Chains A and B, each alone.
Chain A
Amino acid sequence: MDAHFRAFSFVDRITSVRNGTQIRGHYAIPSDVDEFPVSLVGEAVGQLAAWAAMSALKFTHRPIAGLAGCIEFPGGAERGPSCPQQLPNGKQLIEPSCGPHDVTEDRNVRAPLSTPSALRESNSAAQSWSSALRPRGVLELAANLEEVDTESVAYSGTAHADGRLVVRLQDCLGPMVPLADLDDPQALANRFDLLCGPGAPPGGFRGLPPLALERTAGETGRRAGATFQVPPSAPFLADHFPRRPVFPGSLLMHLSLQLGAMLASELSAPASSRWGDWTILDMKLRSFIPPGTVLELDARLKQRSEASAILAAEARAGRELLATARLALKAEVNS
């Protein structure tokens, strides 16, 4: 099946465009998709902004992920990877589909998830909690373009599900590249007309392939490292982008949040609390990440108070620094 406008496209319909700068739309999350991480909700907002920017520039240029001053996930983000599996080579394989293990009242320090019973216990609690984080239904998307030209687009935006704020993006900047380098300009223009008209048929997204981090050296409560190999091929690569497949920045964010969550799970939160609201600060994507790239991810504790923490995250390929961000988390009282 042709992956174009299906495998990694998260706007079904554009409901309004005002002054070329305020755009509204929605996306129906396919009900049969197991996982729809909140980082993809952020991707949806970015894609909506991109449609407005491309239209404003008559489909000569399109923005790519670049800078995000602040991305808020009220109520939390991916809180994996609490089900690490021990590999024969001694490394741990972390499946990002699981949630974290929570701090219990009678322990201030999390036990490492190295025992099967600990894994099962955290898995079941985490999965029920984790599923609550995964938005379902229709995402109501909104984006406001503050400035757009052939060099960049500055924008902010939100996504709501069932009236609840899921993601807020602020102070985002997307560098522009010639559209023809990434995709077919006419196909994009036609797609825009479709989205502004009857809308695209839902259900194109069939889910993500497993995105497993492989844990490497770290220091409990202070640093976590992992490696990840971008698949050489995958449906989402064919849609991002057809003429130049690159690993989406939102999926890199997804992996970084997973690693950050793993490090956070090693930090004691206040009694009767767990790490709640997550915010990404000053995310910067420095270059395209081609298929097959081996990424080295790192998360380090930079600041800590009783009820908050800031982690520094980065992604490298060899010596090349590909992306950086800070992850801010706050403890919230268990409900």
Chain B
Amino acid sequence: MAVYPKIAEIIAAALPCEIERVKPDASLIDDLGAQSIDFLDIVFRIERAFKVKIPRGKIVEEARGDLSAAEFDQRGVVSEAGLQRLRAFLSEVPPERFASPLKVADIPRLFTTETFCKIVIRQQRAQSAPADPKPA
């Protein structure tokens, strides 16, 4: 199944909004008006449509990479190192949207349609990757 058209269809159905408004770089919150319940709905629909699991909170966890929690943010505000990591991880998000200071709670405002496409592709690859062989 082609990922982007299905993701766009899911987002349009969940919000709901005209599918023409669901562009690759559209911010779900700022451009399309998504609320927290819509994020839950979108992830839920994506999981069913693509038969993948998207653990809650995984996006921020993956964005952090090998940075510790303390290195990534202090008192709920993303550090410079954390911002650099976020920009690299969310490479599909226009750079001007990474305002500083950025609160951890506001990270979802950066998410675009393409962000979810990348999540799905990553999860599909992870689920299809062969398991590590056990030592003899």
Contact = CB atoms under 8 A, between A and B. Distances in A.
B41 A151 contact: no
Contacts of B40: 66-67, 151-152, 173, 175
Contacts of B56: 149, 151-152
B36 interface: yes
Given A171-B48, A282-B13, A324-B16, A151 B57 contact: yes
Contacts of A145: none
Interface in A63-99: 66-67
Contacts, number: 28
B44 A154 contact: yes
Contact of A285 (B37, B48, B57): B37
Given A67-B37, A286-B35, A173 B44 contact: yes
Given A152-B56, A175-B36, A284 B41 contact: yes
* Chain B interface, >50% SS class: helix
Which of B13, B16, B37 has the largest number of chain A CB atoms within 10 A? B37
Nearest to A152: B40
Contacts of A152: 40, 56
A67 B44 contact: yes
A282 B10 CA distance: 12
Q: How large is the interface on A (under 10, 10 to 19, 20 to 34, 35 or more residues)?
A: 10 to 19
Interface in A277-324: 282, 284-286, 324
Q: How large is the interface on B (under 10, 10 to 19, 20 to 34, 35 or more residues)?
A: 10 to 19
Interface in B40-58: 40-41, 44, 48, 56-57
Contacts of B35: 286
Given A152-B56, A171-B48, A67 B16 contact: no
A99 B56 CA distance: 43
Nearest to B44: A173
Contacts of A324: 16
A66 B35 CA distance: 12
Nearest to A174: B40
B48 A66 contact: no
Contacts of A175: 36-37, 40
A321 to B, nearest CB: 10
Given A151-B57, A324-B16, A171 B37 contact: no
15 contacts: A66-B37, A67-B37, A67-B40, A67-B44, A149-B56, A154-B44, A171-B44, A171-B48, A173-B40, A173-B44, A175-B37, A282-B13, A284-B41, A286-B35, A286-B37
A-B residue pairs, 10 tightest by C-beta: A151-B56, A173-B44, A67-B41, A286-B37, A152-B40, A66-B37, A173-B40, A175-B40, A149-B56, A286-B35
Interface of B: 13, 16, 35-37, 40-41, 44, 48, 56-57
Interface of A: 66-67, 149, 151-152, 154, 171, 173, 175, 282, 284-286, 324
